[in-house]
Structure 1
């Protein structure tokens, strides 16, 4: 990774919760109880959900690709990506939770990735990426950075953010940002848990239930505009639905109001993978 190397602190996640892989559930649960709004779950994604989220990478074009993972958590998806990426590929991992970011820095699977795969970790929110890039040595650029005025574009974005925990304007801004970060024709995956609208209304009251429904409607409009398909993963805790979407080929179709302006490129109906 491009972060500075450091010795393990006695209070680091690996020291407190065990090995980077074995302690995932304990660390995830601890952080979920402490900051559920940003974590959005009580356990990491299961293997079948992970497989659904990395479909754009496992069914990829035959050329190097650039992948952005947002909200990596303890790294269950990150490790899967590290295993399937090839020489020349780049993986940029964004994780705002400092304890999760520390776990990722210590992860042995990521450290043992193929030497031809570039890996960068940004310990910030995805909205803060420009401010989060490390300072470059004089006359050089940090790994993954582009000259001023350029924009980093990704072939694949995998989002683990809990959209339904956020306010609708924040979700709209994130979806718009993902479209700007994707290369033309790039693909995006994210997921949501099943049954959350009813549960949120019953447990948090009508006001939060209404906010939750507004976010769901916003996501549905986005999926109607760009969706390629979805997969329901019943063998996850809790059951979840993964969504696969594709950015248009150089055309802006997602407006700030959250309404599609034109049909997705090609006008094809969504196809489940």
Structure 2
């Protein structure tokens, strides 16, 4: 696992007209190449569209009037990350987790992230979310945030907590036990009253059964049942995004407790 702070770098400032892209462009081509190479971990053939991104960042755009800490898991080429970098305020912290090394390299070079507002802390961890020190309840991470404080300290025995988690992981590609472990981890990492968003594509259960056979279809249905139970317990609402490729449904959930 590698964890690093991403700071403002003048040589990475975006040129006029390039603020919506990455330094080299071609996000869709990179995403497609990685999807074809490792579809199990990528889970799609194209990055999320603007409407789906808007649905996923709702907890950050309707937020308390204080600094917040945000965790994004499965950032891909950074379409959600760039939106978060634009809407976060000085004093906020964004921790981005991306296990794919090619996607992580793209995020390190992204000019929009480099040109985020001053005072917005940004940390990138190139690993699975289950491999974070916070996942094991470790408080001594050896990493430091932009203020010089040691990350993960001062948060109690369970490590750092987040006000918002935005998950881009393809849950229906995973085994049910791993999905359950990740959902349980999200609950541990959220502050009381903290909110979680994730999404799933529409019509995938039938397609998975037809394309992959009955065994994978059964695994897919088991994951869907697990997610529906999770949403029944913690769900606040959902939004169907038809203008996405493919159409998707974003879910908003909240951990019980006071949130101010």
- The TM-score by the shorter chain falls in which range? 0.7 to 0.9
Q: Is the 8 A contact 1:120 1:144 kept in 2?
A: no
Of 163, 169, 177, the match for 2:171: 163
C-alpha deviation, 1:249, in angstroms:
1.3
1:32 aligns with 2:61: no
Please give the alpha-carbon distance, in whole angstroms, between the structure 1 residues aligned to 2:22 and 2:168: 22
- For residues 136 and 40 of structure 1, do their structure 2 counterparts lie closer, same or farther at Cα, with a shift above 3 Å needed? closer
Q: C-alpha distance in 2, partners of 1:244/1:214?
A: 21
Q: Deviations over 1:163-218 (max 9, x none)?
A: 00000000000000000000000000000000000000000000000000000000
Matched ranges for 1:100-115 at <5 A: 100-115=103-118
TM-score normalised according to structure 1 size: 0.81
Aligned to 1:11: none
Assess if the C-alpha contact under 8 Å between 2:141 and 2:152 holds in 1: no
The alignment status of 1:83 with 2:91, answered yes or no, reads no
Q: Which of 114, 127, 130 is residue 130 of structure 2 equivalent to?
A: 127
Q: Which runs of structure 1 show a deviation greater than 3 angstroms over 4 or more consecutive aligned residues?
A: 3-6, 18-21, 131-137, 140-145, 147-150
For 1:194 and 1:21, the matched residues in 2 are separated by 31
* Equivalent-residue separation in structure 1 for 2:42 and 2:212 (angstroms): 17
Counterpart residue number, 1:73: 76
- Structure 2 partner of 1:230: 238
SS in 1 for 2:132: helix
Q: Does 1:43 align with 2:50?
A: no
Alignment partner, residue 98 of structure 2: 95
1:174 paired with 2:174, answer no
C-alpha distance after superposition, 1:242-266 (max 9, x if no partner): 000001118xxxxxxxxxxxxxx9x
- Structure 2: unaligned runs, 5 residues or longer: 12-20
Indicate how the Cα distance of structure 1 residues 2 and 142 shifts in structure 2: closer, same or farther if over 3 A, else same. farther
The C-alpha deviation readout for 1:102-136, integer Å capped at 9, x for no partner, is 00000000000011100000000001011999745
Q: Whole-Å Cα distance in 2 between the matches of residues 135 and 141 of structure 1? A: 11
- Would the aligned equivalents of 2:142 and 2:151 in 1 still touch at CA under 8 Å? no
How many residues matched? Answer: 239
Residue in 2 aligned with 1:196?
A: 204
Residue 90 (structure 1) shift? 0.3
TM-score by length of 2: 0.85
| In structure 1, distance between residues paired with 2:39 and 2:56 | 22
Is the CA contact (8 Å cut-off) linking 2:134 and 2:189 kept in structure 1? no
Shift of 1:151: 1.2
User: 1:52 is matched with which residue: 44, 55, 79?
Assistant: 55
Moved more, 21-30 or 91-100: 21-30
Q: Deviations over 1:57-113 (max 9, x none)?
A: 000111100000000000000000000000100000000000000000000000000
